[in-house]
Structure 1
Amino acid sequence: MGKKRKKGKCAKNAQNSEGGTYIEEENVIHAPHVLIINRGHLPSRLMELIKNTRSIFEPYTSSKLKVRSSNTFKDFVSIAGTFHIHHIISFSMTETAYNMRICRVPHGPTLFFKLIGATLAREVDQLIRKPIKDQVSESEIEIDGPENQIVLPQNISGKGNIKSHQSAIRLVEMGPRISLKLIKIEDGLCQGKVIYHHYIKKSPDELSRLEEIHRKKRKLKLLKTNNKLKLKRKIGSKKNSSFNSAKKRKKEIGIP
Structure 2
Amino acid sequence: MPRKGGKRTHSSPRSTRFKNSILTHVSLIPLHFLQRKTRTHVVEAPSVEKDDTPMSFVFKMGKVPGVVSSLVQDMRRVMAPYTADKLREKRKNTLKDFVHVGAPLGVTHFIFFTNTEAGTNLKIARIPRGPTLSFKVTKYSLMSQMHLVVRRPVDASQALKSKPLVVLNNFTAPD
Same fold (TM over 0.5): yes
Match of residue 123, structure 1, among 125, 145, 157? 145
**Larger RCO of the pair (alpha carbons < 8 Å, separation 6+):** 2
The answer to whether structure 1 residue 114 and structure 2 residue 136 are counterparts is yes
The answer to whether structure 1 residue 105 and structure 2 residue 127 are counterparts is yes
* 8 Å Cα contact 1:28-1:59 kept in structure 2: no
Q: Which amino acid aligns with 1:91?
A: F
Q: Secondary structure at the match of 2:85?
A: coil
Deviation at 1:27, TM superposition (A): 7.2
The answer to whether structure 1 residue 64 and structure 2 residue 64 are counterparts is no
* Aligned equivalents of 1:117, 1:106: Cα separation in 2: 30
Match of residue 38, structure 1, among 57, 60, 66? 60
Q: Which residue of 2 aligns with 1:85?
A: 107
Structure 1 runs not aligned, ≥5 long: 1-25, 132-171, 175-256
Structure 2 runs not aligned, ≥5 long: 1-46, 157-175
Identity in percent: 32
Q: Secondary structure at the match of 1:92?
A: strand
* Aligned equivalents of 2:108, 2:145: Cα separation in 1: 30
Deviation at 1:58, TM superposition (A): 1.2
Deviation at 1:128, TM superposition (A): 2.0
Change (3 A) 1:74 1:118: same
Would you say how many aligned residue pairs link Structure 1 and Structure 2? 110
Q: TM-score, normalised by structure 1?
A: 0.39
Q: Which residue of 1 aligns with 2:165?
A: none
* 8 Å Cα contact 1:80-1:105 kept in structure 2: no
Q: TM-score, normalised by structure 2?
A: 0.56
Q: Which runs of 4+ in 1 moved over 3 A?
A: 26-30
* 8 Å Cα contact 2:62-2:92 kept in structure 1: no
Matches within 5 A, 1:143-182: none
